[in-house]
Structure 1
Amino acid sequence: MRLVQVLIPEGNRSSVLDALDEEGIDYAVFEEVGRGDFEAMVQFPVPPSGVEPVMEDLVEAGIREHAYTIVLPTETVVSERLSALVERFPGLRISREELYARAQDLAPANSTFFAFLILSTVIATTGLLLDSAATIIGAMVVAPLMGPAISASVGAILDDPKMASRGVTLQVTGLLAAILTAAVMGWLLKQTVLIPPGLDIRTIPQVAERTSPNFLSLFLALGSGIAGSLSIMRGSGSTLVGVAIAVALVPPAATSGLGIAFGLPGVAIAGAVLVVVNLLAINVSALVLFFLAGFKPLEAGRFEGVRASVFSRIVVIGIAIAVLSIVLGAVTWTTFQTQDFEQRTQNELQQRFDEADIEGVDLVSVTVDYTPVDLVLGNEPRVSVLVGIPRDLEAPPDLAQRWDDDLTAEFGRDVVVRVGFIEAQISDGRTPAGQPRPEGRLATGV
C-alpha cells in the first residue's frame, strides 16, 4: 500500500474531495497552515497500482503541477474498506511518478559511478587472469551498471531526454572506461612476475568463454534487462538483479581490454562485440517491458509523440542486435560443427577398436584440434591418437594414413592424423607365487 499526501490549492478543496469520494477512497483532511497558496492537505491510502489513476483524477480536479504530492510506502493499513480498493486496483505496478523517482535514485553521481566501475573492472580482470568465477561474481556486486541501464529506458518512456541521455552516456563511457582499465592493468601486469612469460590468455577458460559468444549470451542479456525492469516496477531485489546486468557487461569488457594488452585483436574484437550486443539487448528488453506495462509520459499530451519515438528506438536497436547477431550465429554454428566433428571422430575410432578386438591393444586417447577459427579459415582438423600395444606386437607403419583416408571418406573433409604408440602392460592381479594378492595391503618390490 501507499500513503498519498496532497496539498490542495486555494479554491479546489471541494472538487478534490469530490474526486476522492467518487473513487471510494477514505481520506483525512488537515487544515494547511503553511504557505497561503494552499488551503488544506488531504491524506489517503491506495494500492501501488492505483496511485497513478487517482492522481490523474486529482489533476483534473485542480491539483496543479507545482503542488506538493508525497507518496510513501506503508507497512500495514488496517481497514475493512480497503478490500474494495484492492479489487479495483489490482496488480503491483507502481506509478510513473514513483518509477521516475526510483530511476533518478538508481543513477549515481558521475564520480561515484566511475569509481565503482573501475574498481569492479580491476577485480573482474583479476578474476579472469586467475580463472576464478567466484572473484568475477564478487566484482559484479560492485559494478553500478543497473542504474544507467534502467534510467535510460525510463527517461525514454516518460519523455525525459535529459535522464535518457545521461543513462546512455554513462553506459557507453563507463564500458569504454572498463575496457581501457583492463587494457592498462593487463599491460602493467605483463611487466611484472605476476604473469608467466608467454601466457596465452586464450587458454584461460574464463577468457575463452567470453571470446566465443553465442546466442545463449543474448538470452543472458535479455533476461537481465527484463529482471531489472521488473525489480524496479515492483520494488524487489534490485541490488541482486544489478549483479546479473553487470555479469553481462563487465567481464566481456575486461576481456576486450586484456585482448588489447596482450596484442590479440581477435580477443579484443570478440569481447567488444559481446559487450555491444549485451548492452543493446538489456536496453531494448527494459524499454519494451516499460512500454508494455503502460507507463506514459509525465505530460499527458506527449504520449503520441513519445510512443512513436519509442517504436523507432526499439526498431533501431533491434536492427543493430540482428546485425551483430550474425557474429553470434556464426560462432554458434562453427562451435557446433567443430564439437560435432570431435565427438563423431572419437566415436568412429572407438568403434573401429571395438570391432577389431585385438588382444592387448587399447585406445588410450583421441584428441581433436579443430577450432571455429580453423573451420572459417578452411584449416584441416588435426587428430592425435594414442594407442597402447604390447611389447611383442609390431605397430603398423601405415596406420595414420589408413585412418586419415577413412576419416576423410567418412566426413568428407581432409584431416591430418597423428598416431602415437606406448607400450601397454596390464597386471593380472596375482602375486608371482600364483597366490591372490591380499586385500588391503600394497605389494611392493625393488
Structure 2
Amino acid sequence: MLHLRLIIPADRTDEVLQLLERTVGTTHLVVLSGAAREPRGDVVLCDVAREAGDGLLARLREMGLDRSGSIALEHIDLSLSRRADRAEDEAPGEGADAVLWESLTDATHEESTLSATYLAFLTLATMIAACGVVLDNAILIVGAMAVGPEFGPLAGISTALVRRAPRPAWRSLVALVVGFVVAMALTGGFSYFMDAVGLFTEHRVEGPRPNTSFIWQPDWMSFVVAFLAGVAGTLSLTSAKSGALVGVAISVTTVPAAANAAVAFTYGDYAQTWGSVGQLGLNMVGIVVAGTLTLATQKLLWARHGTLPVAR
C-alpha cells in the first residue's frame, strides 16, 4: 500500500475527493479542512493500492495539483486493515508488477546527479578496486563493486529512454562520463603515489593475476552477465526491493575495469588499458540495453490494466 498526503486549494477539494472516492484501490480517506498553511488549503490523506498508484498520480498531476498544492507519497510497510486488503484485491493487477513512474524518475534523478558525493563514492570505489587489481584480491574487487554508485546513472538513462525524456538522459550520461573520467584520473594519480611509496609495483600489475585478469579481457560472457544484472537491477528499482541492488553491483565489472585501466595506463600497458576500457563500455551498454528493454516490457504488460484510475 501507498500513503498519499495532498495539500489542495479549498476551492478544488471537492473535485479531488470525487476522483479519490471513485478510484478503485483507495481507502482510509481523511479530510482536514483548512489545516494547511503553506500553501494554504485543505489536507487530504488516503491510502491507495500500489497497482492504482501510478494512474492516480497521473490524474492528480493533470489536474495541476503539483503546481497549485502538493502531492506527497510514502510506502506503507505494514497496514492491518480489512479495508486495505479489500482495496488491494479490487485494484487491477499485482502490486509487485506495478511501476510507479513518478517515483522511479525521482529516484533515478537523485542517483544520477553529478554531485560531490557521487564523485567521491565513485572515486573511492575505483581506488579500492585499484588496490584489488594490484594485489589480485577478489575480496577488494567485490567491495569496490558494492561501493560504486554507477548503477544510478545507468538506470537513469534507461528510464529516460523509455519515457522519451532527453534532458534526464543527457544529465545521466554526463554524470556517468564525467564521473568515470574524474575517478580514473584521480586513481591514476593515486597509482603514481602508491608506486612512489613502494606499495604498487609494475611487476604485480604485469605478472599473473588469476583472480582479476578477466577485468581487462572482455568477451560475450561479460555482456551476458551485465545484461542479466541490468534486468535484475531494474526490477529491484521498480518493485522497491532495493536490497537486490547490492547483488547487482557485485555482478558487473564497471568500477574494477575503470580502475584497471587507470593503473595499467600509469605503467604504460596500453593493451590492458584498452581492454579494460572495452570491458567498461561493454558492461555499461549491457546494463542500459537490459534496463531499457525491461522497463519497456513492464510498460507494455501493465498497459492492459489501463493507466488511469478505474471507476468504482
* Same fold (TM > 0.5): yes
Cα offset for 1:164?
Answer: 2.1
* Distance change >3 Å, CA 187–CA 33, structure 1 → 2: closer
Is 2:70 the partner of 1:95?
no
Q: What does residue 141 of structure 2 align with?
A: 136
| Structure 1 residue 191: Cα displacement | 4.1
CA distance in 2: counterparts of 1:167 and 1:272, whole angstroms = 19
Cα deviation, residue 51, structure 1: 1.0
Pairing of 1:120-269 with structure 2 (within 5 A) = 120-195=125-200, 198-199=203-204, 201=206, 203-236=208-241, 237=243, 239-241=245-247, 243-244=249-250, 247-269=252-274
Name the structure where helix makes up a greater proportion of residues. 2
Q: Is it true that 1:110 corresponds to 2:115 in the alignment?
A: yes
1:235 and 1:201 mapped to 2: Cα distance? 43
In structure 2, relative to structure 1, the CA distance for the partners of 1:141 and 1:32 (3 Å cut) is same
For 1:106 and 1:44, the matched residues in 2 are separated by 28
Structure 1 residues 41, 139: CA separation in 2 closer, same or farther (over 3 Å shift)? same
Quote the Cα distance in structure 1 between the aligned partners of 2:77 and 2:141.
37
Does 1 or 2 have the higher relative contact order (CA < 8 Å, sep 6+)? 2
Match of 2:5 in 1: 5
Q: 2:83 aligns with which of 76, 81, 84?
A: 81
Number of aligned residue pairs:
293
Structure 1 segments unaligned to the other structure (5+ residues): 296-446
Percent identical across equivalent pairs? 22
CA contact (8 A) 2:134 2:204 kept: no
CA-to-aligned-CA distance 1:124-153 (integer Å, 9 cap, x gap) = 111111111011112222222122222232
Q: Does structure 2 conserve the Cα–Cα contact (< 8 Å) formed by 1:182 and 1:255?
A: no
Deviation per residue, 1:138-177 (Å, 9 max, x gap):
2222222122222232333345444322211111122223
* In structure 1, C-alpha distance between the alignment counterparts of 2:142 and 2:203, rounded to whole Å: 27
Which residue is 2:308 aligned to? none
135-144 or 286-295, which deviates more: 286-295
Aligned counterparts of 1:251 and 1:182: Cα–Cα separation in 2 = 11
Q: Amino acid of the residue matched to residue 120 of structure 1?
A: A
Q: 1:266 to 1:5 in 2, by over 3 A?
A: same
Q: Deviations over 1:223-259 (max 9, x none)?
A: 22222211111112155146236x4201111222222
1:78 CA displacement:
2.9
The whole-number CA distance in structure 2 between the counterparts of 1:287 and 1:277 is 15
Query: Are the structure 2 counterparts of residues 52 and 199 from structure 1 closer, same or farther at C-alpha, using a change threshold of 3 Å?
Result: closer
Amino acid at match of 1:18: Q
1: distance between equivalents of 2:277 and 2:38? 58
Contact 2:146 2:250 in 1 (8 A): no
TM-score, length of structure 1 as denominator length = 0.59
Shift in alpha-carbon separation, 1:68–1:250, aligned structure 2, 3 A: same
CA RMSD of aligned residues (A): 2.7
- SS of structure 1 residue aligned to 2:268: coil
Say whether the 8 Å CA contact 2:114–2:175 is kept in structure 1: no
Quote the residue 1:344 is aligned against: none
Partner residue in 1 for 2:65: 64
Amino acid at match of 2:182: A
Mapped partners of 1:11, 1:197: distance in 2: 73
Q: Once the 2 structures are TM-superposed, how far is the Cα of residue 274 of structure 1 from its aligned partner?
A: 0.9
- Consecutive unaligned residues of structure 2, counting only runs of 5 or more, are 301-312
Q: Evaluate the alpha carbon distance shift between residue 169 and residue 229 of structure 1 in structure 2; reply closer, same or farther with a 3 A threshold.
A: same
